[in-house]
Amino acid sequence: MHCEKITLKSGKIRWECVADGPRDPVTGKRNQITRRAVKQKDAKNKVLAAIRELGEQGYDNKLSGKMTFDDLTQEWYEIYKVSGKKDSTLLRCRKDIDILNRNMAKTPIIKITHFSYQKAINAIFQHYSRNTVKGIHSTAKQIFKFAKKNKWILENPAIDVQIPREQKTIQEIKQDTIEEKYLDHDELEQFLRAAVEHGKTYDKERFYTLAFSGMRPGELCALQKQDLLFEKDTIDITKTMYNEKNNMREYILTPPKTYGSVREVIMEKMVMDMLKKVVLENDIRKMKLRNTLVKYRNSLEDYHNKDFLFARKNGYPYNTIQLNVRMNRLLKFTDIKKRATPHIFRHTHVSMLAEAKVDLATIMKRVGHEDTTTTMKIYTHVTNKMKKDAPVQISKLYGNILSKLP
């Protein structure tokens, strides 16, 4: 066994030990086992444990030498697709598999090493964002874990692989600050004014609803008449919309992002009154259409009668891509320089609640967050800012008393 100290890219020092393991049962080639650890003793023990495990387990010779990566992905997906995952999750996995297959499809799985897989990830990073690559890598780890469990490979080559990073510009670093993730009071007022004065059909109603509810854009697009409870001024959020091909007829309604996302949101009465008008207009339009069709002895077959709140004239719902287009149009009527998408209203709502001194637990429940990271950052930033502004507010309120100091 050979051991030496090495320096990782992160600058950390590690011991790396290498020894010969059992030869490849299919090709008969030499199989070197490499392990790293902080201490030399631990690295040696890891190598010995790996060699021992290989000797005990070995490959499943019937499949391991013949199975290619695309064969493996098919075997894994057949099991994964009946695991109860949402349609949108399954679709994302299929996309991940397609991208991985472009780089490794016909490679025998026993030939895929940590090094070759790292090269594949690096190649994928040239065409996709880091977050997308992280998702692809997560899928690959599950696929290789499945292969190892079935003894088709000895090790998971995706373990300890590094996801590349791009060097950020000063402008990009600036745009990553927490202030960039939400609209402040003046920016929100400016945008909503643009929606009122320059907005097209449903712009005002949709963006006011996003700002004062904290719902996700997909949840907004999925709203139906029965989700609005006007007697209580609440909205039931029980589903989200997914539309892969941006085809109005091929949308999918799925449960929201997380279990905590199923919720009832109490709304401002003025917003609910505005939405009530939308429902009434939808009902009147549908009634007129029905009367016209009856007159000409036609049916409602061409009308998508699902009572979507924000629907086209034929009843089909708008999707999030159209919402993005409308927002980009309205931003041109403002001075807002932030890279804003409809999702920014979700973060804006968190800042509004924090500014209103609503406690964090209540905010989390209202917006349906199970991951507290972004919510916590915005909440902390806004509340800290409020603490800094406290003396100024006190001076405004009690300036007359302070002015009487001797």
The per-residue b/e assignment along 162-177, b for 16 or more CB within 10 angstroms, e otherwise, is eeeeeeeeeeeeeeee
- Both 53 and 78 in a single domain? no
- Both 215 and 349 in a single domain? yes
Read off the pTM.
Answer: 0.69
- Collect the ranges in the chain with pLDDT lower than 70: 23-28, 54-65, 168-176, 257, 293-301, 370-371, 389-406
Angle at 154 between CA 148 and CA 157, to 5 degrees: 80
Domain termination site, one of 166, 194, 218: 166
- Both 205 and 218 in a single domain? yes
- Both 96 and 243 in a single domain? no
State the Cα–Cα distance between residues 92 and 80, nearest whole angstrom: 12
Q: Is residue 318 part of a domain?
A: yes
Residue with tokens 């070759």: 116
For the stretch 266-311, pLDDT in tens is: 999 999 999 999 999 999 988 888 777 655 555 556 788 999 999 9
Q: Is residue 277 part of a domain?
A: yes
Number of H helices, E strands in the chain: 14, 8
Q: Is residue 368 part of a domain?
A: yes
Q: Is residue 359 part of a domain?
A: yes
237 three-state secondary structure? strand
For the stretch 74-83, pLDDT in tens is: 999 999 989 8
- Both 122 and 11 in a single domain? no
Predicted local confidence at residue 294, as pLDDT:
59
For the stretch 144-195, pLDDT in tens is: 999 998 888 888 999 999 999 877 666 555 555 888 889 999 999 999 999 9
Q: Is residue 15 part of a domain?
A: yes
Domain with residue 218: its CATH number is 1.10.443.10
Residue with tokens 């287009």: 325
Q: Is residue 299 part of a domain?
A: yes
252 three-state secondary structure? strand
Predicted local confidence at residue 221, as pLDDT:
96
Residue among 281, 193, 199, 267 at smallest CA distance from 237: 267
- Both 351 and 236 in a single domain? yes
Strands (E), 135-272: 228-229, 234-237, 240-242, 252-254, 263-266
Q: Which domain holds residue 95?
A: 60-166
- Both 99 and 25 in a single domain? no
Predicted local confidence at residue 276, as pLDDT:
97
- Both 67 and 162 in a single domain? yes
- Both 354 and 286 in a single domain? yes
| 150 exposure class (CB count in 10 Å sphere: 0-12, 13-18, 19+) | middle
Q: Is residue 247 part of a domain?
A: yes
Q: Is residue 209 part of a domain?
A: yes
- Both 11 and 101 in a single domain? no
- Both 268 and 190 in a single domain? yes
- Both 124 and 247 in a single domain? no
Domain with residue 70: its CATH number is 1.10.150.130
Number of structural domains the chain divides into: 3
